[in-house]
Amino acid sequence: MRVVILGSGRGSNAEAVLLAQQAGRLGGARVVAVFSDVADAPILKLGPRFGVPSGFVDPSPFRTKLDGEGEARFIAAVSGAGPDLVVLAGFMRVLKPAFLGAFAGRIINLHPSLLPSFPGLDAIGQALRRGVRITGCTVHHVTAEVDGGPIIDQAAVRIEAGETLESLEAKVHAAEHALLPEVIARLSGARPPG
């Protein structure tokens, strides 16, 4: 299963997937490309480190969504890698119908909450401010509804008394780093060893 990862930031979840691949824990999946909508995003440094092509794709003209010419450039770049699965790992743009249609049924997203609770931005902060005792992360299929597609799997994280945003972020990120590679391996149809 050919996997393309899209991200906008530091790429810690992409790194977790690539480390799982390096360790033989990604089942029948193989990351074939990493793309970012941010020219200097640290996620792009993962490509050379893991021997995977990576590159910036100009998303203009919109700031928060992938539309118009930017969407066409992303469709061309991702299509060129021949993906069976497109993984959004910290990709901070709303996908529009043309992109969703080009890869229908093949796009998954990792979100830092137990959806349907706390969709959208600052999900970890939302959970902390609301005072819930359990939060976590969700891998789901991507649809036109932001953070609303069918859930594939989730991992729970307990919020302890006195938890800070930083400590909770660290716990949720650790859960994400375990869950995403596991889900990709499962979707590839092959069980990872161990």
pLDDT-based confidence at 151, cuts 50/70/90? very high
Distance CA 42, CA 146 (A): 25
Per the annotation, the verdict on 111 as an active-site residue is yes
What is residue 80's DSSP assignment? H
Domains of the chain: 2-187 (3.40.50.170)
pLDDT value at residue 66: 81
Distance CA 133, CA 33 (A): 37
CA distances from 2 to 9, 16, 153, 184 (A): 22, 17, 20, 10
CA distances from 4 to 50, 143, 144 (A): 14, 17, 20
Quick one: average pLDDT of 146-168? 96
The amino acid occupying position 37 is D
Two tokens at 124?
A: 């970890």
Distance CA 29, CA 177 (A): 16
Does 194 score more than 60 pLDDT? no
Among the listed residues 111, 141, 173, 177, the single catalytic one is 111
Interval 52-93: pLDDT, tens: 999 999 998 777 788 788 999 999 999 999 999 999 999 989
pLDDT value at residue 60: 80
The phi and psi torsions of 7 (rounded to 5 degrees) equal -150, 160
Distance CA 12, CA 143 (A): 24
In the chain the first and final C-alpha atoms are separated, in Å, by 20
| Closest residue by Cα to residue 137 from 170, 93, 94 | 170
Residue located via tokens 């649809």: 143
The phi and psi torsions of 71 (rounded to 5 degrees) equal -60, -45
Quick one: average pLDDT of 99-117? 97
Distance CA 169, CA 136 (A): 10
